[in-house]
Copies of this chain bind each other. A is one copy, B any other.
Amino acid sequence: MPSFTRFETHDVRFPTSRDLDGSDAMNPDPDYSAAYLIIGTDAADGLEGHGFAFTIGRGNDVQVAAIQALAEHVLGLDVDTVLADMGATWRLFVDDSQLRWLGPEKGVMNMAISAVVNALWDLKAKRAGLPLWDLLAGMSPEELVALVDFRYLTDALTREEALAILRQAEPGRAARREELLQKGFPAYTTTPGWLGYSDEKLVRLAREAVEQGYTQIKLKVGGNVDDDVRRMRLARETVGPDIRIATDANQRWDVSDAIAWVKALTPFDPWWIEEPTSPDDVLGHAAIRKAVAPVKVATGEHVQNRIVFKQLLQAGALDVLQIDAARVAGVNENIAILLLAAKFGVPVCPHAGGVGLCELVQHLSMFDFVAVSGTTQDRVIEWVEHLHEHFLAPARVESGAYVTPTQPGFSAQMVPATLTHFAFPNGAEWAPAQLEVSA
């Protein structure tokens, strides 16, 4: 019986702040980073599970320490037992009563759990010889609800309601699986819209996005309202009336600011306003949504767990729900959130970008399409060009759609050279800069 023998963490950071890639109103100079985990076993197959939490630089070491705190819940356990009941396994991490105090179920500890849970799913999918989306989409409704912790959800979604949603989608699974393999899943691109880019670069990249087949782009807003109106007008003039332009304030505003700012942009027909205020502010989002309609309200990349998503849905605070693959507690909690969204009839359009988030989250949207919501109507996955070259099985977009991954696993695995070259602070990418500082 194989057991878990390796739990190896890496602090991997990319110097993205040097080019202002990823710059927005709240995050002017991110260094995209991964608190990266490799879980190994003594099985003959030699397969590993890879997972990570995404951060934007400082604090990636804290995130690594939080992942390490979970090692004792993995090392030495029987691999088959752990992977056979991923619902029970999820609870091992989330229900550690001492670690729970550090959240509960939020922030650094929840992101650490996401890394471990996702790494175990990566391994489980590799052992099954299936991409994760296909592994999940092949599970029965009963197996899927067994992955979900309904605690704190039952006033909005019970196990029985979740089962009913999954059973309703069952008959069409095979046809949608074929459609997915042929057509992929719709994407939108954030590449043109970073705040740090010049008007010329914005216009050029927006034009290229349309030429490449995208039907939706996104602009970062929230720095200066006059600049945003000018950039939004330029973007609208460039792409024409039929391309959707989402906007993203990255939590910059209070409620009244958000309403006024969105109204200033409304003449240029924004499709949604993303993160208009604090991700913790359910009632604030509800007030904003009421005031800015028909502009849609989107949020989720910083929403800490299923309990806050539940309330966003209960309060009618959302038109678009944006899951993130590595902030809530991994695949299991995201399945709970997909089911909540289905119950409330709200489309899920994942947050991606960063490093590796496109790779991970595509699997969740594809599973959602095949086995939960059953549709791609108004569903798009964010696409950002950066850093895909660091992955063994990089996500790919062609003609405005994610190409459905077929390699076994969760597409989480980085190339080995990246783990050494970008290791912080002693990898080749960072060590010279350190020497300059101390010289």
Contact = CB atoms under 8 A, between A and B. Distances in A.
Contacts of A164: none
Interface stretch (A63-71, A209-217, A370-378): A63-71
A43 interface: no
A255 interface: yes
Given A106-B280, A153-B254, A282-B283, 15 more contacts: A26-B100, A27-B97, A27-B100, A29-B98, A30-B98, A55-B98, A62-B102, A105-B278, A106-B106, A108-B109, A152-B278, A154-B255, A281-B307, A281-B311, A283-B314
Contact of A61 (B69, B284, B307): B69
A190 interface: no
Nearest to A63: B102
A151 interface: yes
Interface in A104-128: 104-111
- Count of chain copies: 2
Interface class of chain A by DSSP: loop
Interface in A150-166: 151-155
A181 interface: no
Interface of A: 26-31, 55-59, 61-63, 65-66, 69, 96-111, 151-155, 251, 254-256, 277-284, 287, 302, 304-305, 307-308, 310-311, 314-315
13 contacts: A55-B101, A56-B98, A57-B98, A58-B96, A58-B99, A59-B66, A59-B101, A66-B108, A104-B278, A108-B109, A152-B277, A152-B280, A155-B255
Contacts of A104: 251, 278-279, 302
Nearest to A100: B26
A188 to B, nearest CB: 22
Contacts of A65: 61-62, 65
Contact of A108 (B107, B151, B279, B310): B107
Contacts of A279: 104
Nearest to A95: B26
Given A305-B280, A307-B280, A59 B102 contact: yes
